[in-house]
Amino acid sequence: VVSKLPQTGTNIFTTMSALAAELGAINLSQGFPDYPCSPKLIELVNNAMKNGHNQYAPMAGIMPLREQIAIKTEKLYGTIYNPETEITITAGATQAIFTAITAVIHPNDEVIIFEPAYDCYAPAIRLMGGVVKSLELEAPDYRIEWDMVKRLINNKTKMIILNSPHNPTATILHQEDIDELSSLVKQQDILILSDEVYEHLIYDGETHHSMARYPELQQRSFIVASFGKTFHNTGWKIGYCMAPAYLMQEFRKIHQFLVFCVNAPMQYAIAEYLKDENNYLSLSGFFEEKRDDFRAGIEQTRFKLLPCSGSYFQSVTYDDISQETDSEFAIRLTKEAGVASIPLSSFYSKGTDKHVLRFCFAKKQETLDRAVDKLIKV
Protein backbone atom coordinates (compact mmCIF):
# COMPACT_ATOMS: atom_id res chain seq x y z
CA VAL A 1 0.00 0.00 0.00
CA VAL A 2 0.97 3.60 -0.53
CA SER A 3 0.94 5.09 2.94
CA LYS A 4 -1.56 7.87 3.49
CA LEU A 5 0.57 9.15 6.37
CA PRO A 6 4.17 8.52 5.35
CA GLN A 7 5.57 10.83 8.06
CA THR A 8 3.66 9.12 10.86
CA GLY A 9 4.90 6.28 13.05
CA THR A 10 3.62 4.82 16.33
CA ASN A 11 2.96 7.75 18.64
CA ILE A 12 5.16 8.67 21.56
CA PHE A 13 2.57 7.90 24.27
CA THR A 14 2.30 4.30 23.11
CA THR A 15 6.07 3.99 22.90
CA MET A 16 6.94 5.48 26.28
CA SER A 17 4.13 3.79 28.23
CA ALA A 18 5.17 0.43 26.75
CA LEU A 19 8.81 1.07 27.67
CA ALA A 20 7.84 2.07 31.21
CA ALA A 21 5.75 -1.10 31.60
CA GLU A 22 8.49 -3.31 30.16
CA LEU A 23 11.12 -1.87 32.49
CA GLY A 24 8.88 -1.42 35.52
CA ALA A 25 9.67 2.30 35.52
CA ILE A 26 7.47 4.97 37.12
CA ASN A 27 5.32 6.19 34.27
CA LEU A 28 5.20 10.00 34.20
CA SER A 29 5.03 9.94 30.40
CA GLN A 30 1.50 9.42 29.06
CA GLY A 31 -1.00 11.77 30.70
CA PHE A 32 -3.36 9.76 32.90
CA PRO A 33 -4.04 9.51 36.64
CA ASP A 34 -2.75 6.47 38.60
CA TYR A 35 -5.44 6.90 41.30
CA PRO A 36 -9.08 5.84 41.05
CA CYS A 37 -11.87 8.07 39.79
CA SER A 38 -14.79 8.89 42.07
CA PRO A 39 -16.63 5.81 43.48
CA LYS A 40 -19.83 7.86 43.19
CA LEU A 41 -19.29 8.14 39.43
CA ILE A 42 -18.71 4.40 39.15
CA GLU A 43 -21.88 3.77 41.12
CA LEU A 44 -23.76 6.05 38.71
CA VAL A 45 -22.48 3.97 35.76
CA ASN A 46 -23.57 0.75 37.51
CA ASN A 47 -26.99 2.26 38.13
CA ALA A 48 -27.34 3.32 34.50
CA MET A 49 -26.51 -0.22 33.39
CA LYS A 50 -28.90 -1.75 35.92
CA ASN A 51 -31.58 0.67 34.76
CA GLY A 52 -31.29 -0.71 31.27
CA HIS A 53 -29.31 2.01 29.49
CA ASN A 54 -27.37 -0.56 27.50
CA GLN A 55 -28.42 0.13 23.91
CA TYR A 56 -27.34 2.75 21.38
CA ALA A 57 -27.43 6.31 22.61
CA PRO A 58 -28.85 8.91 20.22
CA MET A 59 -26.32 9.83 17.53
CA ALA A 60 -25.41 13.20 19.08
CA GLY A 61 -25.42 11.89 22.67
CA ILE A 62 -28.12 11.56 25.32
CA MET A 63 -30.08 14.78 25.86
CA PRO A 64 -29.56 14.98 29.66
CA LEU A 65 -25.81 15.09 29.14
CA ARG A 66 -25.99 17.65 26.35
CA GLU A 67 -28.24 19.76 28.58
CA GLN A 68 -25.81 19.59 31.51
CA ILE A 69 -22.96 20.64 29.23
CA ALA A 70 -25.02 23.59 28.01
CA ILE A 71 -25.79 24.59 31.62
CA LYS A 72 -22.13 24.34 32.64
CA THR A 73 -20.98 26.32 29.60
CA GLU A 74 -23.46 29.12 30.17
CA LYS A 75 -22.56 29.29 33.85
CA LEU A 76 -18.82 29.39 33.26
CA TYR A 77 -18.49 31.24 29.96
CA GLY A 78 -21.80 33.05 29.49
CA THR A 79 -22.74 31.57 26.12
CA ILE A 80 -25.86 29.55 25.45
CA TYR A 81 -25.34 26.50 23.23
CA ASN A 82 -28.43 24.75 21.96
CA PRO A 83 -28.11 21.10 23.07
CA GLU A 84 -30.32 20.07 20.19
CA THR A 85 -28.13 21.43 17.42
CA GLU A 86 -24.82 22.63 18.86
CA ILE A 87 -23.41 19.95 21.20
CA THR A 88 -22.28 16.41 20.31
CA ILE A 89 -20.87 13.74 22.64
CA THR A 90 -17.77 12.06 21.23
CA ALA A 91 -15.42 9.18 21.94
CA GLY A 92 -12.95 11.42 23.75
CA ALA A 93 -11.52 14.69 22.54
CA THR A 94 -9.44 12.78 20.00
CA GLN A 95 -12.51 11.79 18.01
CA ALA A 96 -13.95 15.30 18.32
CA ILE A 97 -10.73 16.80 16.93
CA PHE A 98 -10.54 14.32 14.06
CA THR A 99 -14.20 14.86 13.22
CA ALA A 100 -13.98 18.67 13.28
CA ILE A 101 -10.91 18.66 11.03
CA THR A 102 -12.31 16.17 8.54
CA ALA A 103 -15.64 18.03 8.46
CA VAL A 104 -14.18 21.28 7.13
CA ILE A 105 -10.72 20.75 5.67
CA HIS A 106 -10.50 20.33 1.89
CA PRO A 107 -7.37 19.52 -0.14
CA ASN A 108 -4.86 22.40 -0.07
CA ASP A 109 -6.60 24.22 2.76
CA GLU A 110 -4.01 25.56 5.18
CA VAL A 111 -4.26 25.06 8.93
CA ILE A 112 -2.09 26.95 11.40
CA ILE A 113 -0.87 25.04 14.44
CA PHE A 114 1.52 26.10 17.18
CA GLU A 115 4.39 23.79 18.02
CA PRO A 116 5.08 22.02 20.24
CA ALA A 117 1.57 20.73 19.46
CA TYR A 118 -0.49 17.80 20.69
CA ASP A 119 0.14 15.01 18.25
CA CYS A 120 -3.27 14.31 16.73
CA TYR A 121 -3.82 17.58 14.88
CA ALA A 122 -1.35 17.34 12.01
CA PRO A 123 -2.15 13.76 10.84
CA ALA A 124 -5.88 14.55 10.54
CA ILE A 125 -5.13 17.68 8.50
CA ARG A 126 -2.77 15.79 6.20
CA LEU A 127 -5.20 12.92 5.74
CA MET A 128 -7.68 15.42 4.30
CA GLY A 129 -5.06 16.78 1.89
CA GLY A 130 -4.73 19.91 3.98
CA VAL A 131 -1.45 21.69 4.57
CA VAL A 132 -0.03 22.09 8.08
CA LYS A 133 1.47 25.53 8.68
CA SER A 134 3.29 25.28 11.96
CA LEU A 135 4.72 28.08 14.01
CA GLU A 136 7.31 27.16 16.60
CA LEU A 137 6.93 28.78 20.01
CA GLU A 138 9.93 29.49 22.19
CA ALA A 139 10.65 28.48 25.78
CA PRO A 140 10.28 29.44 28.52
CA ASP A 141 6.87 31.07 28.08
CA TYR A 142 5.96 29.73 24.60
CA ARG A 143 3.96 32.88 23.81
CA ILE A 144 2.29 33.15 20.42
CA GLU A 145 3.95 35.85 18.30
CA TRP A 146 0.88 37.19 16.54
CA ASP A 147 2.93 39.13 13.96
CA MET A 148 4.32 35.81 12.83
CA VAL A 149 0.82 34.36 12.63
CA LYS A 150 -0.25 37.28 10.44
CA ARG A 151 2.58 36.48 8.06
CA LEU A 152 1.39 32.88 7.70
CA ILE A 153 -2.15 33.87 6.77
CA ASN A 154 -3.18 33.96 3.13
CA ASN A 155 -6.35 33.21 1.18
CA LYS A 156 -5.87 29.46 1.66
CA THR A 157 -5.86 29.70 5.47
CA LYS A 158 -8.92 27.80 6.66
CA MET A 159 -8.37 27.13 10.33
CA ILE A 160 -6.27 27.96 13.38
CA ILE A 161 -5.90 25.30 16.08
CA LEU A 162 -5.50 26.54 19.64
CA ASN A 163 -4.96 24.60 22.83
CA SER A 164 -5.23 26.30 26.22
CA PRO A 165 -4.20 25.19 28.81
CA HIS A 166 -1.54 23.78 26.57
CA ASN A 167 -0.17 20.29 26.25
CA PRO A 168 2.81 19.90 26.51
CA THR A 169 4.02 23.37 27.62
CA ALA A 170 1.42 24.05 30.36
CA THR A 171 1.01 27.66 29.17
CA ILE A 172 -2.35 29.43 28.82
CA LEU A 173 -3.84 32.04 26.51
CA HIS A 174 -4.12 35.58 27.92
CA GLN A 175 -6.48 38.44 27.13
CA GLU A 176 -3.91 39.96 24.72
CA ASP A 177 -3.95 36.71 22.74
CA ILE A 178 -7.73 36.81 22.50
CA ASP A 179 -7.61 40.42 21.26
CA GLU A 180 -5.01 39.60 18.60
CA LEU A 181 -6.85 36.48 17.53
CA SER A 182 -10.14 38.36 17.23
CA SER A 183 -8.71 41.00 14.96
CA LEU A 184 -7.00 38.35 12.81
CA VAL A 185 -9.91 36.03 12.20
CA LYS A 186 -12.29 38.90 11.51
CA GLN A 187 -10.25 40.04 8.52
CA GLN A 188 -10.72 36.72 6.80
CA ASP A 189 -13.14 33.89 7.27
CA ILE A 190 -10.94 31.65 9.39
CA LEU A 191 -12.33 28.87 11.58
CA ILE A 192 -10.97 27.98 15.01
CA LEU A 193 -10.53 24.57 16.55
CA SER A 194 -10.07 25.16 20.26
CA ASP A 195 -8.80 22.20 22.23
CA GLU A 196 -9.89 22.99 25.79
CA VAL A 197 -9.52 19.57 27.39
CA TYR A 198 -7.66 21.12 30.37
CA GLU A 199 -10.23 23.92 30.87
CA HIS A 200 -10.61 23.10 34.60
CA LEU A 201 -6.88 22.66 35.28
CA ILE A 202 -5.75 26.25 35.56
CA TYR A 203 -3.68 27.65 38.40
CA ASP A 204 -2.73 30.77 40.37
CA GLY A 205 -6.23 32.23 40.06
CA GLU A 206 -5.90 32.66 36.28
CA THR A 207 -8.91 32.70 33.97
CA HIS A 208 -9.58 30.13 31.29
CA HIS A 209 -10.14 32.09 28.08
CA SER A 210 -12.58 29.72 26.44
CA MET A 211 -13.58 30.65 22.90
CA ALA A 212 -17.11 30.37 24.29
CA ARG A 213 -16.61 33.65 26.17
CA TYR A 214 -16.16 35.76 23.03
CA PRO A 215 -19.14 35.90 20.63
CA GLU A 216 -17.08 36.77 17.55
CA LEU A 217 -14.72 33.84 18.22
CA GLN A 218 -17.41 31.45 19.44
CA GLN A 219 -19.29 31.85 16.15
CA ARG A 220 -16.40 30.35 14.20
CA SER A 221 -15.16 27.79 16.73
CA PHE A 222 -15.30 24.10 17.33
CA ILE A 223 -14.63 23.77 21.07
CA VAL A 224 -13.46 20.37 22.22
CA ALA A 225 -13.46 18.99 25.78
CA SER A 226 -12.78 15.66 27.50
CA PHE A 227 -14.38 14.11 30.58
CA GLY A 228 -11.36 11.82 30.82
CA LYS A 229 -9.32 14.82 31.97
CA THR A 230 -12.03 16.37 34.13
CA PHE A 231 -13.16 13.25 35.96
CA HIS A 232 -9.89 11.25 36.18
CA ASN A 233 -11.03 8.47 33.87
CA THR A 234 -9.11 8.75 30.61
CA GLY A 235 -10.01 5.13 29.82
CA TRP A 236 -13.68 5.96 29.43
CA LYS A 237 -12.94 7.99 26.30
CA ILE A 238 -15.86 10.38 26.49
CA GLY A 239 -15.66 13.99 25.43
CA TYR A 240 -17.67 16.47 23.44
CA CYS A 241 -17.66 19.14 20.81
CA MET A 242 -19.60 22.41 20.87
CA ALA A 243 -19.99 24.55 17.76
CA PRO A 244 -22.56 26.87 16.21
CA ALA A 245 -25.25 24.95 14.32
CA TYR A 246 -23.85 25.61 10.82
CA LEU A 247 -20.56 23.93 11.86
CA MET A 248 -22.14 21.24 14.05
CA GLN A 249 -24.31 20.16 11.14
CA GLU A 250 -21.16 19.31 9.13
CA PHE A 251 -19.50 17.77 12.20
CA ARG A 252 -22.39 15.34 12.70
CA LYS A 253 -22.28 14.23 9.06
CA ILE A 254 -18.87 12.71 9.82
CA HIS A 255 -19.55 11.71 13.43
CA GLN A 256 -22.51 9.51 12.46
CA PHE A 257 -20.34 7.39 10.18
CA LEU A 258 -17.21 7.40 12.31
CA VAL A 259 -18.71 6.04 15.56
CA PHE A 260 -22.45 6.81 15.18
CA CYS A 261 -22.71 7.28 18.95
CA VAL A 262 -20.77 6.88 22.19
CA ASN A 263 -21.42 4.34 24.95
CA ALA A 264 -24.68 5.08 26.73
CA PRO A 265 -24.35 4.17 30.46
CA MET A 266 -21.39 6.43 31.05
CA GLN A 267 -23.23 9.31 29.44
CA TYR A 268 -26.08 8.90 31.93
CA ALA A 269 -23.63 8.75 34.80
CA ILE A 270 -21.70 11.84 33.73
CA ALA A 271 -24.93 13.79 33.13
CA GLU A 272 -25.88 13.17 36.75
CA TYR A 273 -22.38 13.86 38.09
CA LEU A 274 -22.14 17.22 36.27
CA LYS A 275 -25.09 18.53 38.29
CA ASP A 276 -22.73 19.16 41.20
CA GLU A 277 -20.42 21.92 39.99
CA ASN A 278 -17.97 21.15 42.76
CA ASN A 279 -17.08 17.97 40.85
CA TYR A 280 -15.27 20.08 38.25
CA LEU A 281 -14.63 23.37 40.06
CA SER A 282 -12.51 21.57 42.67
CA LEU A 283 -10.01 20.39 40.08
CA SER A 284 -7.76 23.44 39.95
CA GLY A 285 -7.12 23.31 43.69
CA PHE A 286 -6.53 19.56 43.60
CA PHE A 287 -3.97 19.72 40.82
CA GLU A 288 -2.39 22.99 41.93
CA GLU A 289 -1.30 21.24 45.12
CA LYS A 290 0.22 18.40 43.11
CA ARG A 291 1.94 20.88 40.83
CA ASP A 292 3.45 22.78 43.78
CA ASP A 293 4.67 19.60 45.49
CA PHE A 294 6.14 18.21 42.30
CA ARG A 295 7.86 21.49 41.45
CA ALA A 296 9.32 21.65 44.97
CA GLY A 297 10.63 18.11 44.42
CA ILE A 298 12.15 18.92 41.03
CA GLU A 299 13.88 21.96 42.56
CA GLN A 300 16.00 19.51 44.54
CA THR A 301 17.26 17.92 41.30
CA ARG A 302 19.53 19.11 38.52
CA PHE A 303 16.56 19.48 36.18
CA LYS A 304 15.37 23.05 35.55
CA LEU A 305 11.67 23.84 35.77
CA LEU A 306 9.74 25.57 32.99
CA PRO A 307 6.59 27.53 33.97
CA CYS A 308 3.32 25.65 34.57
CA SER A 309 0.07 27.65 34.51
CA GLY A 310 -2.35 24.87 33.57
CA SER A 311 -2.79 21.21 32.48
CA TYR A 312 -1.21 18.35 34.45
CA PHE A 313 2.16 18.52 32.78
CA GLN A 314 5.46 19.92 34.02
CA SER A 315 8.27 20.41 31.54
CA VAL A 316 11.95 20.59 32.46
CA THR A 317 15.28 21.20 30.77
CA TYR A 318 18.29 19.04 31.54
CA ASP A 319 21.33 20.88 30.14
CA ASP A 320 23.26 20.51 33.41
CA ILE A 321 22.85 16.72 33.25
CA SER A 322 23.29 15.63 29.65
CA GLN A 323 23.83 16.81 26.10
CA GLU A 324 21.96 13.87 24.57
CA THR A 325 18.90 14.51 22.38
CA ASP A 326 15.67 14.58 24.33
CA SER A 327 14.59 11.22 22.88
CA GLU A 328 17.88 9.53 23.76
CA PHE A 329 17.83 11.04 27.21
CA ALA A 330 14.15 10.13 27.87
CA ILE A 331 14.90 6.51 27.00
CA ARG A 332 18.04 6.41 29.16
CA LEU A 333 16.19 8.06 32.04
CA THR A 334 13.53 5.35 31.83
CA LYS A 335 16.12 2.57 31.74
CA GLU A 336 18.64 3.84 34.26
CA ALA A 337 16.69 6.10 36.62
CA GLY A 338 13.38 4.26 36.30
CA VAL A 339 11.28 7.33 35.43
CA ALA A 340 9.50 7.63 32.08
CA SER A 341 8.82 11.04 30.50
CA ILE A 342 7.91 12.42 27.08
CA PRO A 343 10.59 14.13 24.94
CA LEU A 344 9.18 17.40 23.60
CA SER A 345 10.68 16.86 20.14
CA SER A 346 7.80 14.48 19.44
CA PHE A 347 5.44 17.46 19.46
CA TYR A 348 7.22 19.20 16.55
CA SER A 349 6.73 18.27 12.90
CA LYS A 350 10.43 18.93 12.32
CA GLY A 351 11.43 16.99 15.43
CA THR A 352 12.94 20.16 16.94
CA ASP A 353 14.97 19.22 20.00
CA LYS A 354 15.37 21.88 22.69
CA HIS A 355 16.40 19.41 25.41
CA VAL A 356 13.02 19.48 27.14
CA LEU A 357 11.18 16.60 28.82
CA ARG A 358 7.54 16.55 29.95
CA PHE A 359 6.43 14.86 33.18
CA CYS A 360 2.77 14.17 34.06
CA PHE A 361 1.93 14.98 37.69
CA ALA A 362 -1.61 13.52 37.71
CA LYS A 363 -0.27 10.84 40.04
CA LYS A 364 -0.59 9.75 43.66
CA GLN A 365 1.60 11.65 46.10
CA GLU A 366 3.52 8.46 46.74
CA THR A 367 4.24 7.97 43.01
CA LEU A 368 5.47 11.56 42.66
CA ASP A 369 7.65 11.23 45.79
CA ARG A 370 9.24 8.02 44.48
CA ALA A 371 9.86 9.65 41.10
CA VAL A 372 11.49 12.69 42.71
CA ASP A 373 13.72 10.43 44.84
CA LYS A 374 14.97 8.81 41.67
CA LEU A 375 15.38 12.08 39.78
CA ILE A 376 17.44 13.57 42.63
CA LYS A 377 20.06 10.89 41.98
CA VAL A 378 20.35 11.75 38.26
Rounded to an integer, what distance in angstroms lies between the CA atom of residue 332 and that of residue 378?
11
User: Rule CB under 6 A: is residue 118 a binding residue for ligand PMP?
Assistant: yes
- For residue 14, the one-letter residue type is T
CB of 156 to ligand PMP, least distance (A): 25
Q: Which is nearer to ligand PMP, 195 or 272 (CB)?
A: 195
Q: Closest approach of Cβ 239 to ligand PMP, in Å?
A: 4
Residue closer to ligand GLN by CB (options 98, 251) is: 98
What is d(CA 175, CA 172) in angstroms, rounded to the nearest whole number? 10
Q: Whose Cβ is closer to ligand PMP: residue 294's or residue 338's? A: 294
- The CA distances from residue 59 to 2, 221, 265, 266, in Å, are 33, 21, 14, 15
Distance CA 43, CA 372 (A): 35
Nearest distance from C-beta of residue 118 to ligand PMP, angstroms:
4
Among 15, 16, 20, 31, binds ligand PMP (CB under 6 A): 31
# binding residues, ligand PMP (CB under 6 A): 14
378: CB partners within 8 A, 6+ apart: 301, 302, 303, 321, 333, 337
Site stretch for ligand PMP (CB under 6 A), options 89-97, 125-133, 200-208, 333-341: 89-97
The distance of closest approach from Cβ of residue 13 to ligand PMP in the complex, given in angstroms and rounded to an integer, is 8
Binding status of residue 314 toward ligand PMP by CB under 6 A: no
By beta-carbon proximity to ligand GLN, the closer residue of 13 and 286 is 13
310 binds ligand PMP (CB under 6 A): no
Enumerate long-range contacts of 253-256, CB under 8 Å, 24 or more apart. Answer: 253/103, 254/99, 254/102, 254/103, 255/59, 255/60, 255/88, 255/90, 255/95, 255/99, 256/59
Q: Does position 345 bind ligand PMP by CB under 6 A? A: no
Distance CA 99, CA 337 (A): 40
Q: Residue length, the chain?
A: 378
Q: Would you put residue 176 in left (φ > 0), alpha (ψ -120 to 50) or beta?
A: alpha
Cis upstream peptide for 116 (omega within 30°): yes
- The residue with its CB nearest to ligand PMP is 92
Q: Indicate which single residue of 163, 164, 341, 346 sits in contact with ligand PMP (rule: CB under 6 A).
A: 163
Interface contacts to ligand GLN, rule CB under 6 A:
13, 30-31, 167
CA-to-CA separations, 258 to 8, 16, 20, 59, 90, in angstroms, rounded = 21, 28, 32, 11, 10
Q: Which does 163 bind (CB under 5 to 8 A by kind): ligand GLN, ligand PMP, none?
A: ligand PMP
For residue 37, give every residue at least 6 positions away whose Cβ sits within 8 Å of its Cβ, in sequence order, or none: 231, 232, 233
| Contact of residue 345 among ligand PMP, ligand GLN, none (CB under 5-8 Å per partner type) | none
Q: Helix or strand or coil: residue 196?
A: coil
Please, which residue, 259 or 378, has the CB nearer to ligand PMP? 259
Q: How far is the CB of 20 from ligand PMP (least distance, A)?
A: 16
Under rule CB under 6 A, residue 93 binds ligand PMP: yes
The single residue among 68, 88, 102, 167 that binds ligand PMP, judged by CB under 6 A, is: 167
Measured CA to CA, the distance from residue 181 to residue 146 in angstroms comes to 8
**Which of 109, 195, 199, 272 lies at the binding interface for ligand PMP (CB under 6 A)?**
195
Q: Is residue 197 at the binding interface for ligand PMP, with CB under 6 A as the rule?
A: yes
Which partner, ligand GLN, ligand PMP, none, binds residue 93 by CB below 5 to 8 Å per kind? ligand PMP
Stretch that binds ligand PMP, among 47-55, 78-86, 234-242, 347-355 (CB under 6 A): 234-242
> What letter represents residue 137's amino acid?
L
Interface with ligand PMP (CB under 6 A): 31, 92-94, 118, 163, 167, 195, 197, 226, 228, 234, 237, 239
